[in-house]
Amino acid sequence: MKLNIVPARAGIQWVKLGIRTFMRQPIALSGLFFMFLAVMSVAGMVPVIGLALALALLPACTLGLMAASKEAMTGKFPMPTVFVSAFRAGRQQLRAMMVLGLLYGAGFWVVMGISALFDGGNFAGHYMAGQMPTLEMTQQPGTQIAMLVFMALQLLLSLMFWHAPALVHWHQVPPIKSVFFSLVACMRNFWAFTLFGLIWMAILIFIVLLISIVASLVGNPQVAGLVLLPVSMLIAAMFFTSTYFSFRDCFDTGPSTLQETIP
């Protein structure tokens, strides 16, 4: 396995490839994404251990979406069974993926714990309960710092696990090493990932503004609420489709490398 250092314009290519691949198999990929949301929601509703279970399953579920993107890229129709790729790769890799899930869950709790130091756990309590912070909370300096710390640390945690499930599954990298290699890959390709994130953010903002403007023009603001949620979900599905290409190009995985996709 070899780490590739890609140019900043790779971030643009990942977005394009994600959208293009999604359009090849929109029904399959959107269906698998909604399956992903359903699994996370059902796991989260389990009494007592719901949140911990959902966090532990997250790496395996994101791998399923990446595996589906890989199949769609080659023109195949991703079947629902691809979503459980992590659980069909053998006992050793299954154990490694479970360890990875426990590491992610532990990392999340550490992030929440650190953020709680700045406002006595006010923001963390609301977040864990699935509640949005109130306006009064967001005006408190302690809560503002807690939210900023949470976002910064959660971004770092996401980068640590961005490539980790794929490294464990396709390269048999041990869980702890996969987390380290994932973070190194993201940091060494900082500008590509920055551009990647900014483009997806711009796409989402543009879609939200467009839907809001159209709803205002037709004189029915409720249309925006009805249309925005499913459209946002489709954009999220495209985003997850594009993550496979960032992994493929950051690591030497075979003949399909960045040099072939970017002239």
| Per-residue pLDDT of the chain in tens (263 residues, 90 and over written 9) | 789 999 999 999 999 999 999 999 999 999 999 999 999 999 988 887 888 899 999 999 999 999 999 999 988 999 999 998 888 878 888 899 999 999 999 999 999 999 999 999 889 988 887 777 777 888 888 899 999 999 999 999 999 999 999 999 999 999 999 999 999 999 999 999 999 999 999 999 999 999 888 888 877 777 777 888 899 999 999 999 999 999 999 997 554 444 333 33
Q: To 10 degrees, what angle do helices 10-24 and 50-73 make? A: 90
Dig out the tokens for 90 from the structure: 């053998």
pLDDT at residue 260, as a whole number: 37
State the Rg of the chain over Cα.
19
The SS3 call for residue 3 is: strand
Total Cβ atoms within 10 A of residue 62: 20
Dig out the tokens for 143 from the structure: 């809560």
DSSP 186-223: HHHTHHHHHHHHHHHHHHHHHHHHHHHHHHHHTT-THH
- pTM for this prediction: 0.89
Residue with token string 């290699």: 181
pLDDT at residue 145, as a whole number: 94
Helix (H) or strand (E) holding 35: helix 26-44
pLDDT at residue 43, as a whole number: 93
Instruction: Indicate the Cα dihedral angle 180, 53, 61, 233, nearest 10°.
Output: -110
Rounded to 5°, angle at Cα 32 from 107 and 239? 60
pLDDT at residue 192, as a whole number: 97
pLDDT at residue 253, as a whole number: 57
Total Cβ atoms within 10 A of residue 79: 11
Distance of CA 236 to the CA centre of its chain: 9
Dig out the tokens for 210 from the structure: 């467009």
